[in-house]
Amino acid sequence: AQSVTQLDSHVSVSEGTPVLLRCNYSSSYSPSLFWYVQHPNKGLQLLLKYTSAATLVKGINGFEAEFKKSETSFHLTKPSAHMSDAAEYFCVVSLYGSGNTGKLIFGQGTTLQVKP
Amino acid sequence: EPEVTQTPSHQVTQMGQEVILRCVPISNHLYFYWYRQILGQKVEFLVSFYNNEISEKSEIFDDQFSVERPDGSNFTLKIRSTKLEDSAMYFCASSYPGQGVEKLFFGSGTQLSVL
């Protein structure tokens, strides 16, 4: 069965320093993986996705993630945090590789705090 | 950028009452979803909907739940007789033909409180 585990429930960084949000997945086949972000009172927004193309995926707002099959990881990084990055981040795996009836399996979320 | 709109943002109801959560998906999207997040727990898939019928549903989506696209623009989730454990944030999502689950647009959610 597919699952994701976000290793940190809360991460705090200073503005201008790197961000690392960790995610490990479990899947019996090559998965599709996503990172979503949720700002307060906003919907879930897709940051980036991995769907078996390049293992290093670039997303919006300077975020990127690397798919490492050997480590079953899909960690989210950003070289320099901005105050506006403070939000809840979700690592997500798709139950199917692609398809319209597939469902998303969410991690428990990581709250990113950015200190001035 | 187009948005998925959910109303109301917060709904309070008494146990046993029926509630309808409303969503307006992005206008050219054809696939619709409901997810929910109980406080402190993961976001969970409830149901997907396409071509006026349910494509897939989770074990959570029992006979107390139903979905409908009544007028070609709204997408609703009805809970027939609410229980305390139905208290959660409910997210609606939609996607464009051919993109499916790989590019979902989510609404900002309806916080349902069952008293």
Q: Which domains are seen in chain B, by residue range?
A: 5-114 (2.60.40.10)
Residue A112 pLDDT greater than 60, yes or no: yes
Spatial distance between the Cα atoms of B107 and B92, rounded to a whole number of angstroms: 5
CB contact under 8 A, B42 and A106: yes
Mean pLDDT of the residues in chain B = 91
Q: Nearest residue of B to residue A92 by CA position?
A: B43
Q: Nearest residue of A to residue B54 by CA position?
A: A101
> Of the segments A18-32, A45-59, A76-90, A100-114, which one has the largest average pLDDT value?
A76-90
Percent of chain B, pLDDT > 90?
A: 69
**Cα dihedral: A60, A36, A14, A65 (round 10):** -60
Residue B77: partners with Cβ closer than 8 Å, 6 or more residues away: B20, B21, B23, B34, B46, B47, B65, B66, B67, B90, B92
DSSP-assigned beta bridge partners for residue A25: A4
Which amino acid does the sequence have at B7? T
Helix (H, G, I), strand (E, B) or coil at A107: coil
**Contact indicator for A79, A62 with CB cutoff of 8 Å:** yes
CB contact under 8 A, B104 and A103: no
Assign domain A3-115 to its CATH architecture.
Sandwich (2.60)
Q: Which of B32, B37, B42, B51 is best to mutate for the A interface (most A CBs within 10 A)?
A: B42
Question: Which pLDDT band holds residue B101 (cuts at 50, 70, 90)?
Answer: low
Q: What is the pLDDT of residue A95?
A: 67
What is the biggest distance separating any 2 CA atoms in chain B, rounded to whole angstroms? 41
Report pLDDT digits (tens) over B64-83: 999 999 887 899 999 999 99
CB contact under 8 A, A43 and B44: no
- Phi then psi for residue B94, to 5 deg, are -145, 160
Percent of chain A, pLDDT > 70?
A: 93
- Tokens 């897939």 belong to which residue? B56
Question: Which pLDDT band holds residue A96 (cuts at 50, 70, 90)?
Answer: low
Q: What is the pLDDT of residue A97?
A: 47
Q: Which helix (H) or strand (E) holds A76?
A: strand A73-78
Give yes or no for B105 touching A (CB within 8 A).
Answer: yes
Q: Nearest residue of A to residue B102 by CA position?
A: A98
Give yes or no for B104 touching A (CB within 8 A).
Answer: yes
